[in-house]
Amino acid sequence: MRIESLLIFMLAMPITAFAEVSIQEFKLNNGLKLVVQEDHRSPVVVSQVWYRAGSIDEVNGKTGVAHVLEHMMFKGTKTVPAGQFSRLIAAAGGKENAFTSADYTCYFQQLEKSNLSLAFKLEADRMVNLNLTKKEFEKEIKVVMEERRWRTDDKPQSMVNEAFHGAVYRAHPYARPVIGFMNDLENMTYEDAREWYNHWYAPNNATIVVVGDVKAQEVYQLAKQYFGKLKPKVLPARKPQLEPAQIGERRVVVKAPAKQSYLLMGYHVPSLKDVNQDWEPYALEVLAGVLSGNSAARLNQKLVRETQLAVDVSAGYDLLSRGRLSLFALDGTPSDGKTVADLEAGLLQQIERIKESGVTVEELDRVKAGVIAADVYQRDSMFYQAMQIGTVETIGFPWKILNDYPQKLRAVTPEQVQAVAKKYLLKDNLTIATLDPQPIDPNAKPQGKPHVH
């Protein structure tokens, strides 16, 4: 998965968005957390169930099991046959799906508001009554392997991304792909999926986020009706997982059939830990914006337009992570006649200029203004409002930090941006992955095919 900034979510929201809307949170006796945001502009509701379980919680030999279980959650319960979950939602005029990341797994529905009870009923049922059979597992694991072939083995840049994370992390589980390694998928059993389900799928390991034309107290009563009777579980102990300090530059080369070369490079940097004291994550966020946050940003201006070193180039940083660590990443595709070495030199030159000369107030103002300007495009999306709340809560922070984000960003100074560049963007803290394109067989066919629930 490409590194994405919280800024992508936050740019979708106006400065005062979370101050103006009505958000209430509740806690059921079994530990389930409920966050409801009332939005009465249209008779629609988005319901999301977030489990605090992702690939970060997996162990060697069972990579990909979080994602496999996500697939199995659509295979029925004692009362809802396999495939019927999706049919019931569709029959109600709704849309549904799910996704797995390193930090969490989320299941969501978008429905006409009167059908929220249907979503709650179905989600509560499969939270505890999943009918996880060997027969269904053996069919679905083949689908997941096809998905891995389609998403990774057939995509040269995805192969580079996987190799990059394996090199940049030596001890931390973020080194492992969310989709899982093929060997682990080939040897996975339905007992592995059942173990994962029994360990992590429980009301006291879940957060429900509801955004839409609803009343918070009514949603709370509905949650108590469907989820309140579910029993909590004793969750496995989550042991600290620290990544040792990097003490030298690392490089990895991937050779694969491709039309163009590709470069991905990244530095270890901190993520948000103390919401009251931390300023470095916000400075890193602004630094990413200065480099590639808009068409006037440095990388696009210098490396794409002026020197034509790259066809495309970007920088990214994720302020939030359950692992409490992150990467400051840069990537790009060299222009015809240019090499990854040329592009690497160009990127490093831009980094050094910021370390030596800093950034301008105008650049910072442009990045900060984007927080308000981009609201025009996504301010009406209930789904993304729910995504923001669910992500923050499941990562381990209160949703209220969303209120503070724009102000924290506005407070970043040019000196702070220069300081984090000097502190973290160092050669001995750098990992570089490159794609060495090999000849493409014109008769070659894709190894996998896309998956749809």
Q: Which pLDDT score, from 0 to 100, does residue 445 have? A: 73
- The residues, ordered by sequence, that sit 6+ positions from 59 with a Cβ below 8 Å of its Cβ are none
Give the SS3 label for residue 146: helix
User: Taking a C-beta distance cutoff of 8 angstroms, is the pair 329, 264 a contact?
Assistant: yes
Question: Lowest mean pLDDT: which of 36-45, 77-86, 215-224, 444-453?
Answer: 444-453
Task: Tell me the pLDDT tens digit for each residue of 264-310.
Answer: 999 999 999 999 999 999 999 999 999 997 888 999 999 999 999 99
Region 320-348: mean pLDDT is 97
% of the chain beyond a pLDDT of 90: 84
Give the SS3 label for residue 185: helix
Using 50, 70 and 90 to split pLDDT, how confident is the model at 379? Answer: low
Here the tokens at position 427 are 């050669």
User: Taking a C-beta distance cutoff of 8 angstroms, is the pair 35, 399 a contact?
Assistant: yes
Q: Which pLDDT score, from 0 to 100, does residue 383 have? A: 94
Q: Which pLDDT score, from 0 to 100, does residue 5 have? A: 46
Distances (CA, A) of 217 to 38, 220, 221, 311: 10, 5, 6, 52
Among 4, 20, 58, 70, which one carries the catalytic annotation? 70
Using 50, 70 and 90 to split pLDDT, how confident is the model at 405? Answer: confident
CA–CA distance, 120 with 25 (Å, rounded to integer): 17
Instruction: Tell me: pLDDT of 377 over 80.
Output: no
What phi and psi, each to the nearest 5 degrees, are found at residue 279?
Answer: -125, -20
Q: Which pLDDT score, from 0 to 100, does residue 10 have? A: 45
Task: Tell me the pLDDT tens digit for each residue of 224-260.
Answer: 999 999 999 999 999 988 999 999 999 999 999 999 9
Question: Lowest mean pLDDT: which of 3-12, 102-111, 167-176, 411-420?
Answer: 3-12
CA–CA distance, 122 with 227 (Å, rounded to integer): 10
Instruction: Tell me: pLDDT of 115 over 60.
Output: yes
Question: What is the identity of the amino acid at 268?
Answer: H
Pick the closest to residue 275 from 242, 227, 324 (CA basis): 324
70 is catalytic: yes
Sign of CA dihedral 279, 406, 54, 161: negative
Using 50, 70 and 90 to split pLDDT, how confident is the model at 402? Answer: confident
Region 122-126: mean pLDDT is 98
Using 50, 70 and 90 to split pLDDT, how confident is the model at 448? Answer: low
Q: Which pLDDT score, from 0 to 100, does residue 1 have? A: 33
Task: Tell me the pLDDT tens digit for each residue of 138-168.
Answer: 999 999 999 999 999 999 999 999 999 999 9
Distances (CA, A) of 158 to 92, 141, 351: 37, 21, 25
Q: Which pLDDT score, from 0 to 100, does residue 200 have? A: 98
